[in-house]
């Protein structure tokens, strides 16, 4: 029984299973199976069950050593029931333990007495087969027929031992074999005992035989009982096996469950990782989109700002121009034009207020746009906050899942333990697993919900951004269109105002430039007194040259009447070419508006005409021609945005010795003189084509070629004196079309930039050629003066332009609607005072010219 228990403990059964098994086996178990009586004192045995009294015959039997003498001093080893049906015979000590368990009587009796109810043959037949591990049944089957079985009354199956229903009651704890008082018959086969002294007492002997029979019966019944016990033990064993089998199955099922759980956990983990990856990707996409939107917004904003800046610049320029115009208007018009000035001021005010309003509107719209961007930023921040929360939740979830994983891991270990403590832990584990599974399900659902939220927020954000973008784009487009429209209108207004001011300024405007002395410390200079402009007090618009005369009485020099010259502007020696161009750029602008403009420089040789007109030395202070060149082509680009397309054609001509030459013609052969068409308002030259100039580089190249071909020579005043009048003619035509490509407006402007040859008294002592040139130059200039003074006297008809090629050339530029600006260049040197005064007088005459008629000045045919 101990062995059986040990086997059960060693097996992989959980305590509960073992307990149930033990419980189940406890029912049929004979009371002596686990009886610790092996170590119990005899007194306890007595106290637990009454012992049958030993009969006389038993005592007699004890006293018969011959009967069971061969067992003398030897304890009988009886196989113990239990375990896996093994009944082990051990040494005397263990045998004593095992047997005493169900037959304590054997222990209580002296060794010799033990053989009283076991005959020799029974003991001999059992002994050799009582091997370790043999079962009782086997023993029963293996037991050969003994002398007892031959009697037919000792066959185990017929043993009266089985008559005791309870093994415990017969051989159990504290029991003893039944009374030996039963009668029995002596076996017929029993051999006759040798004659002994006892034969003499035959009756007594017969009584002993009967007692032995009875004892045999008892043993049989005990054996039967034992057999029943074995059978019940076998049943128990089968039950235990079945329990064991079912336990194993449960273990397998649990293991499978554990694997499933593990797989599910792994799957969940993968899904969580996927979800994390997906969330990270979403976040990355969101950030990417945000940065893209921000970039686009920046670009839009910058474009908008640029456009605004441009418009503001435009506005400022317009305002400056208007201011200038107004100032000029005020300075020139006097009282008679006050009404017009009032109107202009009104217009100007309106224009200013319109522009201010537009500016305010614009700023307001920008503010709105900024607010929309700020709203969008706050939305983005909100989304980021939500995303952060989602990330936090995801992090919590991960932590929780990690905790869960650890719990699962712990549970897995516990499941392994549960293999040993199967039924006890199973329910708990299952509960926890299902709880965890449901928690995991909940968390997965939460992740899914969060992801969906993020997606939704992202989609909302994209839509919102898209809407804002579209609205902003539309607003910008509308605004641009509106501003463009306004700009076109303002351009028209400016054009009109400009025209009005130009008309008020007169047909020929005159400006004067004083060349700086080459050595101010040494050079004797004309004591010019500047007359500062009343409005622009940093500008000079007049010169006073003091005069002296000899007092006839005293013979001393006394101050005479000073000579005063008033011009539109006087540039003193400090002024640069840039200052000059700033003043005349409006005229170049008016060429773009379709006007005929003529700018020419008049002055003594070496007074700075070419310097002012053509200087191109790379020090940044270019003359009028290079600056005009730059301005024309940038204006063409600007006007393109207002729907205008311009073409530029150019020609560079020279009047040398009163003959007209094309400065662009090849100089390999002698150039042929050209003829000016004396009829019409446009300058036309017979047999001469204008060159199409696509860009500033073409014009540049044209000027370079012309400069190389111009007639120059050393004069007294100038080492490289221009010996001819050079004329750069630019025809600038603009065309504006509507959406259908129909021409709706045209502009035809002409710009003549003329660098006249130096006026100087011809030096008779110089080269003949130079002298001849000087005479010719002076003649043509004198004639120009004559023409100008005729025009100045209000003659509009009968003015003879034909006498000189120079005046023929200038005729179309001196008519009505033409703008002519004359620069008079003067030397500051005392030695050139007379020439300077002559030039200034020439300029004053020119200033008086009023061009009349409906076209060019009428020539005398």
Ligand X SMILES: Nc1ncnc2c1ncn2[C@@H]1O[C@H](COP(=O)(O)OP(=O)(O)OP(=O)(O)O)[C@@H](O)[C@H]1O
Instruction: Evaluate whether 598 touches 819 at the Cβ level (below 8 Å).
Output: yes
- State which residue, 426 or 515, has the beta carbon closest to ligand X: 515
CB of 610 to ligand X, least distance (A): 3
Residue from 528, 533, 535, 534 nearest 513 by CA = 528
Nearer to ligand X, 507 or 709 (CB): 709
What distance in Å separates the CA atoms of residue 450 and residue 475, rounded to the nearest whole number? 36
Q: Measured between alpha carbons, how far is 149 from 146 in angstroms, rounded to an integer?
A: 5
Q: Which is nearer to ligand X, 98 or 608 (CB)?
A: 608
Q: Is 434 annotated as a binding residue?
A: no
Q: Name the burial class of residue 704, with classes exposed (0-12), middle (13-18) and buried (19+) by CB atoms within 10 angstroms of its CB.
A: exposed
Binding site for ligand X (CB under 6 A): 515-516, 603, 605-611, 715, 718, 721-722, 757-758, 825
Which one, of 328, 357, 359, 329, lies nearest residue 343 by Cα? 329
**What tokens does 561 get?**
């009447």
Angle, nearest 10°, between helix axes 422-505 and 338-418?
170
HSE-up of 715 (CA within 13 Å, CB side)? 27
For ligand X, which is the closer residue by CB, 334 or 516? 516
Residue 522: CB minimum distance to ligand X, A: 16
| Phi (first) and psi of residue 239, to 5 degrees | -60, -45
CB closer to ligand X out of 596 and 609: 609
The verdict on whether residue 746 carries a ligand-binding annotation is no
Exposed / middle / buried, residue 536 (Cβ in 10 Å: 0-12, 13-18, 19+):
middle
Find the shortest distance in angstroms from Cβ 820 to ligand X: 19
Rounded Cα–Cα distance for residues 522 and 574 (Å) = 18
In the complex, minimum distance from the CB of residue 516 to ligand X, in angstroms, rounded to a whole number: 5
Closest CB 846 distance from ligand X, rounded Å: 17
Give the number of other CB atoms < 10 A from CB of residue 95: 21
Residue 69 marked as a ligand binder: no
User: Smaller CB distance to ligand X: residue 723 or 819?
Assistant: 723
Q: How far apart are CA 210 and CA 57, in angstroms?
A: 9
Is 607 annotated to bind a ligand? Reply is: yes
Is the CB of 635 or the CB of 835 nearer to ligand X?
A: 835
Q: What is the spatial distance between Cα 629 and Cα 614, in angstroms, rounded to a whole number?
A: 11
Contact criterion met (CB below 8 Å) for 202 and 209: no
Q: Is 615 annotated as contributing to ligand binding? A: no
Pick the closer one to ligand X by CB: 229 or 823. 823
Q: Give CA separation, 607 vs 613, 739, 839, in Å.
A: 12, 52, 10
CB of 721 to ligand X, least distance (A): 3
Taking the C-alpha atoms of residue 812 and residue 495, their distance in angstroms, rounded to an integer, is 22
Residue 290, annotated ligand binder? no
Q: Give the C-alpha separation, 95 to 89, whole Å.
A: 6
Least Å distance, CB 348 to ligand X, is 35
Q: Which is nearer to ligand X, 468 or 512 (CB)?
A: 512
- Return the C-alpha torsion angle 421, 422, 424, 428, nearest 10: 120
Nearer to ligand X, 89 or 611 (CB): 611
CA distance 56 to 575: 167
Supply the minimum distance, in Å, between the C-beta of residue 625 and ligand X: 12
Through-space distance between the first and last CA atoms of the chain, rounded to whole angstroms? 158
77 contacts 102 by C-beta, under 8 angstroms: no
The β-bridge relationship of strands 712-713 and 563-571 is unpaired
User: Residue 551 CB, nearest distance to ligand X (Å)?
Assistant: 37
Name the minimum Å distance from CB 763 to ligand X: 13
| Residues annotated in a binding site for ATP | 603-610
């Amino acid at each position: 029984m101990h062995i059986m228990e040990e086997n059960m403990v060693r097996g992989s059964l959980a305590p509960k299973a073992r307990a149930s098994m033990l419980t189940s086996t406890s029912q049929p178990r004979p009371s002596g199976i686990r009886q610790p009586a092996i170590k119990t004192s005899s007194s306890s045995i007595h106290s637990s069950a009454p012992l049958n009294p030993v009969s006389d015959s038993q005592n007699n039997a004890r006293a018969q050593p011959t009967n069971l003498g061969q067992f003398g001093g030897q304890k009988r080893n009886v196989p113990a029931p239990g375990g896996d049906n093994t009944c082990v015979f051990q040494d005397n000590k263990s045998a004593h333990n095992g047997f005493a368990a169900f037959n304590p009587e054997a222990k209580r009796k002296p060794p010799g007495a033990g053989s009283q109810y076991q005959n020799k043959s029974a003991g001999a037949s059992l002994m050799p087969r009582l091997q370790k591990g043999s079962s009782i049944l086997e023993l029963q089957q293996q037991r050969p027929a003994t002398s007892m079985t031959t009697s037919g009354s000792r066959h185990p199956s017929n043993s009266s031992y089985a008559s005791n229903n309870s093994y415990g009651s017969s051989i159990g704890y504290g029991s003893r074999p039944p009374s030996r008082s039963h009668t029995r018959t002596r076996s017929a086969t029993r051999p006759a005992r040798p004659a002994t002294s006892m034969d003499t007492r035959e009756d007594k002997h017969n009584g002993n035989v009967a007692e032995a029979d009875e004892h045999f019966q008892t043993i049989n019944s005990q054996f039967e009982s034992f057999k029943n016990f074995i059978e019940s033990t076998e049943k128990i064993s089968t039950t235990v096996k079945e329990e064991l089998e079912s336990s194993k199955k449960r273990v397998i099922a649990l293991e499978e469950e554990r694997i499933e759980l593990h797989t599910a956990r792994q799957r969940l983990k993968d899904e969580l990782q996927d979800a994390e990856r997906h969330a990270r990707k979403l976040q990355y996409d969101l950030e990417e989109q945000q940065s893209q939107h921000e970039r686009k917004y920046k670009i839009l904003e910058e474009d908008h700002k640029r456009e605004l800046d441009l418009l503001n610049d435009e506005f400022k320029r317009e305002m400056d121009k208007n201011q200038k115009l107004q100032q000029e208007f005020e300075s020139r018009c006097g009282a008679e034009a006050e009404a017009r000035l009032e109107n202009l001021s009104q217009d100007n005010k309106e224009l200013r207020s319109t522009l201010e309003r537009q500016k305010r509107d614009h700023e307001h719209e920008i503010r709105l746009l900024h607010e929309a961007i700020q709203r969008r930023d706050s939305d983005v921040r909100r989304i980021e906050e939500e995303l952060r929360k989602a990330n936090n939740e995801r992090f919590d979830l991960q932590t929780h899942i990690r905790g869960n994983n650890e719990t699962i891991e712990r549970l897995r270990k516990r499941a392994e333990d549960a293999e040993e403590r199967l039924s006890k832990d199973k329910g708990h584990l299952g509960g926890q697993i299902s709880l965890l599974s449901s928690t995991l399900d909940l968390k997965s659902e939460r992740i899914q919900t969060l992801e969906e939220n993020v997606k939704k927020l992202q989609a909302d954000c994209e839509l919102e951004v898209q809407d804002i973008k579209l609205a902003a784009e539309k607003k910008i487009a509308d605004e641009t269109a509106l501003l463009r429209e306004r700009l076109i209108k303002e351009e028209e207004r400016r054009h009109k105002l400009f025209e009005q001011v130009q008309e008020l300024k007169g047909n020929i405007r005159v400006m004067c430039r004083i060349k700086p002395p080459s050595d101010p410390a040494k050079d004797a200079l004309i004591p010019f007194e500047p007359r500062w402009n009343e409005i622009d007090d940093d500008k000079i618009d007049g010169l006073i040259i003091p005069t002296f005369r000899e007092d006839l009485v005293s013979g001393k020099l006394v101050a005479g009447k000073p000579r005063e010259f008033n011009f539109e502007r006087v540039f003193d020696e400090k002024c640069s070419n840039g200052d000059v161009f700033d003043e005349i750029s409006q005229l170049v602008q008016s060429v773009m508006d379709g006007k005929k403009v003529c700018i020419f420089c008049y002055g003594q040789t070496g007074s700075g005409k070419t310097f002012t007109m053509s200087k191109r030395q790379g020090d940044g202070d270019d003359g009028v021609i290079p600056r005009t060149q730059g301005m024309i082509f940038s204006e063409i680009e600007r006007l393109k945005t207002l729907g205008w397309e311009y073409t530029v054609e150019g020609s560079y001509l020279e009047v040398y010795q009163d003959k007209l030459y094309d400065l662009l013609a090849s100089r390999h052969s002698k150039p042929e003189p050209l003829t000016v068409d004396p009829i019409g308002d446009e300058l036309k030259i017979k047999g001469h084509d204008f060159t199409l100039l696509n860009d500033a580089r073409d014009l540049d190249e044209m000027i370079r070629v012309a400069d190389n071909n111009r007639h120059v020579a050393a004069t007294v005043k100038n080492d490289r004196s221009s010996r001819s009048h050079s004329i750069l003619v630019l025809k600038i035509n603009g065309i504006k079309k509507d959406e259908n490509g129909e021409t709706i407006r045209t502009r035809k402007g002409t710009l003549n930039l003329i660098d006249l040859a130096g006026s100087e008294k011809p030096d008779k002592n110089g080269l003949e050629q130079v002298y001849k040139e000087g005479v010719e130059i002076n003649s043509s200039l004198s004639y120009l003066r004559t023409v100008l003074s005729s025009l100045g006297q209000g003659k509009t008809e009968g003015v003879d332009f034909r006498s000189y090629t120079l005046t023929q050339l200038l005729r179309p530029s001196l008519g009505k609607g033409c703008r002519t600006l004359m620069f008079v260049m003067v030397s500051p040197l005392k030695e050139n005072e007379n020439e300077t005064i002559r030039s200034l007088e020439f300029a004053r005459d020119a200033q008086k010219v009023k061009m009349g008629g409906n076209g060019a000045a009428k020539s005398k045919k």
